[in-house]
Amino acid sequence: MEKERKLQIIKASVKRFDKHGPNKTTLDEIARDLRIGKATIYGYFKSKEELYFAALDWEGSLYLEDIKTIFGSEGMPIRERFLNYFDLKESIPLKYKLIQDTLIQIVGEKAFENEHTFFKNLLSAEEEIIRKELSNISSAGSEQEVMLNASEIVMQSWGLFLGRKISASVNNQESIDTKNLLMKLISSYKLQ
């Protein structure tokens, strides 16, 4: 029951933080959404900041689980798994808005240390998933090459995600075909 209540609070806060941002969201609003008292929230979280980072961690774990699910689809060709992974990246603004907003804060040099730590850990976990996938591809190279390639794929995919966001805001259109650019990047692994 305690874990369920805590998760309910986190989920409700994600909705509020997504819609209004952490600065404009209040614990009163979250409590009202859940029809509980604000004191109940304080029973689980010391502050709005702590709740925000719990919400961010929860969203990050969902994102990583989605990546694991994609690459765990052994019946699917490897090339198709990577295409699904890149589709997931493109869905970040709709599905993982807190992650997107955190990245934008980091790029704008307005992020807190906890946000930097969160994103560093997220990238590291994402690289590990990609590294495991590349290790299964015989043409991926040595272990050191696989590590570097996994890092490059993750960083390039995030870089292209940001590039697409910038292009969309400047040109009022999403002109960058990120999937094709990323598939060219990994084509050297001779994906099946």
Domain residue ranges in the chain: 1-45, 55-189
Structure tokens at 65: 């689980």
Q: Tell me if 102 sits within 8 A of 115, measured CB to CB.
A: yes
pTM value? 0.87
DSSP code of residue 173: S
**Alpha-carbon torsion angle 158, 160, 166, 167, nearest 10:** -160
pLDDT in tens, 5-45: 999 999 999 999 999 999 999 999 999 999 999 999 999 99
Nearest to 158 by CA among 18, 63, 65, 80: 63
Neighbours of 106 (CB within 10 A): 16
Q: Tell me if 147 sits within 8 A of 134, measured CB to CB.
A: no
The full 3-state SS of 30-71, as one line of letters, equals: HHHHHCCCHHHHHCCCCCHHHHHHHHHHHHHHHHHHHHHHHH
CATH no. for 1-45: 1.10.10.60
CB-based contacts of 182, cutoff 8 Å, min separation 6: 82, 86, 153, 156, 157, 160
Confidence of residue 175 (pLDDT cuts 50, 70, 90): low
pLDDT of 74: 83
Confidence of residue 159 (pLDDT cuts 50, 70, 90): confident
For residue 186, give the amino acid letter: I
